[in-house]
Amino acid sequence: MIKRTIWICIIVLLISGCITSVETIQDQDEKGAVTIKEDKEIEIAPSKKRELLKKAKTYLKNRDYSNALINIIRAEKAEGDQELDHEIREFKNNLIEKLNARAIYKKEGIEIGKGLKSPLQYMIFYMKDEIIYPAFNIPVAFVVKKGKAQITEKGFTNTSGIAECAVNKVELLVEDEIIISAGVYFEIEGETLTIAKLKREFALHYKSIKEQGISFVVFEKNIDKVVLNSTSGKLIEDFFIKNGFLVFHGINENNKELFIKATNGNVDSLEIYKDKLDSNLIAFTYIESSFSSKMTEGFYFAKSNIILNIVDVETNKILFNSIIEDIKGAGNTEEKAGRKAINEATKEFLQKLTSKIDSIELNR
């Protein structure tokens, strides 16, 4: 009998992704009859590309979009198994197509030297069959594209799919605004990869003092009596309204000590007013008359002072200051003399304000 060894290699792809090679040794006699002499199986490990594709599919099934992206990007970069390239590309494009992003933030005015009260929120989600699934643990980068500010530069989305950016301090405005962009970024094998369709922008605009609004706190005292319904204070408020300022409901104060402390920058006193009022800008208006002299019985003189300080409660900074002093008035009683002095002082004060009002924005 003539023996001849024939090697047949049968490649079988198992469900697990492993490739099995079956090595069969056969004998052939002179008449051509074939008998199997020996079978032997050798397992070959799956390629890296196939393994990464399989992982990406598993992560996607478990709604772990971050790791699904990481693994499909790595699969795309891996060598070998070119027959998988089309499937990998299709999987990646389909995954990215179903991902979307939103920029969520409250419309706050910005100012040099200040931050925002609320963080900017960047949300990433996966949408399938009109159902939104939050994309958690995705790396996000925030970049100031216009202007200059101190911000949170990097973070990860939480279980709600949201990454937050705190704007701690605005340092420079360009054309009265700052633009901050947010986007997904992955650092994979020494490269930084982004997804263009998921980039979003936050446009933050400067808000002038006129737009922000001012709350007036008025303390008026005529001779020795506190006035709880100040006509002069109302006239000063009306002057600001007529000049285009947004003015909120204010307070006629009777606590002189609290008023003076707040005007002088006492933080605790300022906090008390901040809790009561609708604005961070407070116009502390001090109006007072005092007895000056008595010429004859039934004829009195008084003098009056008005001090206006507009204070930014957040920064404890005086943005505007105007004073008028020693304006005289006369009457047949001390109270009437004091009232006359206050009325005359108010007229002169409003005239003085007319020439100074435009400088308020310059002092910010």
User: CATH code at 123?
Assistant: 2.60.40.10
Q: Give the pLDDT of residue 296.
A: 67
- Same domain, yes or no: 188 and 219: no
- Same domain, yes or no: 298 and 194: no
Positive or negative: CA dihedral 334, 339, 343, 345: positive
- Same domain, yes or no: 198 and 342: no
Range of the domain at 133: 98-207
- Same domain, yes or no: 195 and 226: no
pLDDT in tens, 56-103: 999 999 999 999 999 999 998 888 778 899 999 999 999 999 999 999
Neighbours of 31 (CB within 10 A): 6
- Same domain, yes or no: 173 and 224: no
CA-closest candidate to residue 124, choices 79, 193, 183: 183
- Same domain, yes or no: 18 and 33: yes
Task: Indicate whether 166 belongs to any domain.
Answer: yes
Q: Give the pLDDT of residue 364.
A: 56
pLDDT in tens, 127-151: 988 899 999 999 999 999 999 999 9
Residue with tokens 């216009």: 146
- Same domain, yes or no: 228 and 288: yes
Q: Give the pLDDT of residue 162.
A: 97
Q: Give the pLDDT of residue 130.
A: 85
Taking the C-alpha atoms of residue 55 and residue 61, their distance in angstroms, rounded to an integer, is 10
Of 207, 236, 265, which residue constitutes the final position of a domain?
207
Does pLDDT of 323 surpass 90? Answer: yes
CA-closest candidate to residue 164, choices 174, 172, 154: 154
- Same domain, yes or no: 39 and 126: no
Task: Indicate whether 70 belongs to any domain.
Answer: no
pLDDT in tens, 142-197: 999 999 999 999 999 999 999 999 999 999 999 888 999 999 999 888 888 899 99
Question: Which has more confidence, 46 or 161?
Answer: 161
Task: Indicate whether 56 belongs to any domain.
Answer: no
Task: Indicate whether 59 belongs to any domain.
Answer: no
CA-closest candidate to residue 14, choices 53, 46, 60, 56: 46
Taking the C-alpha atoms of residue 329 and residue 346, their distance in angstroms, rounded to an integer, is 12
- Same domain, yes or no: 188 and 325: no
Total number of domains in the chain: 3
Task: Indicate whether 138 belongs to any domain.
Answer: yes
DSSP 8-class letter at 49 = H
Task: Indicate whether 58 belongs to any domain.
Answer: no
- Tell me the pLDDT of the chain averaged across its residues: 85
- Same domain, yes or no: 188 and 221: no
Q: What is the rounded average pLDDT of the residues 338-346?
A: 95
Q: Give the pLDDT of residue 26.
A: 44
- Same domain, yes or no: 356 and 229: yes
Taking the C-alpha atoms of residue 310 and residue 16, their distance in angstroms, rounded to an integer, is 74
Task: Indicate whether 317 belongs to any domain.
Answer: yes
- Same domain, yes or no: 194 and 102: yes
Q: Is 113 left (phi over 0), alpha (psi -120 to 50) or beta?
A: left
Of 207, 235, 256, which residue constitutes the final position of a domain?
207
Task: Indicate whether 1 belongs to any domain.
Answer: no
CATH number of the domain within which 241 lies: 3.30.160.180
